[in-house]
Structure 1
Amino acid sequence: MELGLAGRRALVTGAGKGIGRSTVQALHAAGAQVVAVSRTQADLDSLVRECPGVEPVCVDLADWEATEKALGVVGPVDLLVNSAAVALLQPFLEVTKEAFDMSFDVNLRAVIQVSQIVARNLIARGAPGAIVNVSSQGSQRALTNHSVYCSTKGAMDMLTKVMALELGPHKIRVNAVNPTVVMTPMGRANWSDPQKAKAMLDRIPLGQFAEVEHVVDSILFLLSDRSGMTTGSTLPVDGGFLAT
């Protein structure tokens, strides 16, 4: 299926690692111009070597003023993927203010800020656009030690719907993807314990975790005009976890 992404300009947060990095690589391969945002310069340097032409922006999205300064000058963007996130896992009774603030600053507040920057420019140009927020199955199911993380992703799902409602009249579509455990390097490290993995896999009808490509393919579809009548959706990429 031809997705028609060539020549379009996309911005991807969390571009240094994991789903964000793989999304940049896929968009670059599809012929899109990509602005890659990460807080880690070394990750951006290696990404630019792999994907010549990618425009790197190094900024900590938890810093509102720095983000405004860094992204306020990137120019017109047609497609946005909000992939940056932190997962600071603590038992509920041990949740700290620092973990709460950092989680909501990066996982939710930055999504609002970056999306505002992109959407305002789209509206000023009278151009259509698409935004995909990378959420989680944890937005809709309770996971042990994930109280703050699950809360940020539950909020992201509702933010996605409100954004779709308000930006739809401007021809800007907003959707979310909600993956299960994804076999990024971090995912492999966090779920390498067979006993821990089995407890989750037993709840997934397909009996496997997601590969990065499963998530990236869904993101690219939602960015493309092939999903032109889809907005406000939360798309599970979870092997059926949310169906159980």
Structure 2
Amino acid sequence: MHLHHHPFCPHSRFIRLVLAEYGIEPDLVEQRVWERRPDFLALNPAGETPVIVEQQAPSVPGAAIIAEYLDETRGLALGDRRLLPNGPAERVEVRRLMAWFNDKMFLEVTDHLVRERIYKRYMKADQGGGPPDATVLRAARTNIRYHLKYIGWLAKARNWLAGERMSHADLAAAAHLSVADYLGDVPWDEDEDAKAWYARLKSRPTFRGLLNDSIPGMPASKTYADLDF
């Protein structure tokens, strides 16, 4: 399996966590989506990461589609470690929260942080590169507070975000927080329940690949790889 991704794309990070929980080690192919490489556009005309490619199979684009594909092709073999529950009501809640983080939190927080602080460093002027927009960053840093509070509320009320078992919902939320945490933009002192939940995720062996990622010239925050904060 090949995973076309960017190390700091939160959707790619979500799929990397899912694959790690499934015990799958894909070949990672880094894509800079702003370059719009023809070979990559042939795999996903939308020009977005992540995309997985397996031999003699069509490419599978998009975090939500990949998550469903992996559950359909590998989920049953996981037994109690399956990331999508068996019951329809429970599945609805996992999917609802996965969409909350991969869609709503992305649009309100992580898309802005990643684009302004990371992608723009490598983009040419005609691709939208340049210095970060301070107004956009302020909005993202304001918005992350209520997402963190929501995560804390869920973590306090349940064993995991969507229920009794860890699921796609936890991995999606953790993937987005991990990017913001690298940049030092998570106000951890504002919600101890969210912080404790994230520490559980960050301590899992499947998280190590993400914690090893780095950006040249931009070191991670002090909390990023500290399992005890």
TM-score (norm 1): 0.30
Q: Which has the higher helix share?
A: 2
TM-score (norm 2): 0.31
